[in-house]
Homo-oligomer: A and B are copies of this chain.
Amino acid sequence: MPSAAKAPTAESNRSSLSQVCRLLGFPGDTAAPRGEPHFLHRRVKPGHRLVSQGEPVEALYVVSEGHFKTFVADETGHQLVLGFPTRGDLVGADALFEQRHASYSVALTEADVVVIPFKALAGLGHGTGEFEPLLYRAISREIVADHSLRSLTSTLGAEARVARFLANFAERCGSRDAPATHVTLPMTRQEIGSYLGLTLETVSRAFSALAEAGLVDVAQRELDILDPEALRVLQKVHGSADTNRAPGRRTAPAPVAATRPIRRNVTWVDMLGAAA
């Protein structure tokens, strides 16, 4: 992987507030670029933990480079993958409640994070008042992403989940509105499965199916996105017998536009009834 082979150390060991803002994806919020505090960085080697479940919180982190996986481990040792934070993502937000981390975060690749000392938040450093709204937004985004994932897993089938995951991941890898055509997956099939609520075998099968459908080209950890649009739209591939029906053309089938004229009394029901 010739990714960050360039100038790894030169990238920075400290970032200004406005840099962190941009990193988080809030370019507009940079208001006071003056003598604002600079945040230190911290490097994490692959396989090393950034935070551990139960550990008292010392800081929050914003990923600057590399990939992580965050997961919880129940008493029996089983683990559930909660996400794969990468550049621009906040790590450790679940620790603000109870001042203890509620999950593990380990680096999957060589990684670099911006350290946001907990003091800067709890110590009510009003000098840093500029980035409090920023934190709110970042944490809130965690929640939104979480809900989005729940929606994904409870709505789509296995193949569609994997497809969306790949599209999403590739999108987040390509740094600036560059969907990224080729990526090296930093996580195992099992981790993907845990994240999506599937088993590793099902993930593997989904990969094969997507490859056979011509949407991607996957070999082990190497992934080529051939049809990003189809990946994102896909609802079902489900081709065991008639996979090659229309080669080259694969668009989503017409969805059900069932908006039944349900009438009940009050306002909320309009959307309540539609369920199914």
Contact = CB atoms under 8 A, between A and B. Distances in A.
Interface of A: 45-49, 72-74, 76-80, 82, 93-98, 102-104, 106, 108, 121-122, 124, 126, 129, 132-133, 135-144, 146-147, 150-151, 153-155, 188, 190, 193-194, 197, 199-200, 240-242, 244, 250, 255-259, 262, 264-269, 271-276
A102 B144 contact: yes
The complex is assembled from copies of this chain, and their number is 2
B106 A155 contact: no
Contact of A140 (B97, B151, B190): B97
25 contacts: A47-B268, A47-B269, A49-B268, A76-B244, A77-B242, A77-B271, A79-B242, A79-B274, A80-B154, A93-B140, A95-B140, A96-B139, A97-B138, A124-B133, A135-B136, A139-B140, A142-B143, A143-B143, A150-B150, A153-B197, A188-B265, A190-B276, A193-B241, A194-B241, A194-B275
B93 A256 contact: no
A170 to B, nearest CB: 20
B262 A47 contact: yes
A140 to B, nearest CB: 4
Contact of A78 (B108, B124, B197, B274): B274
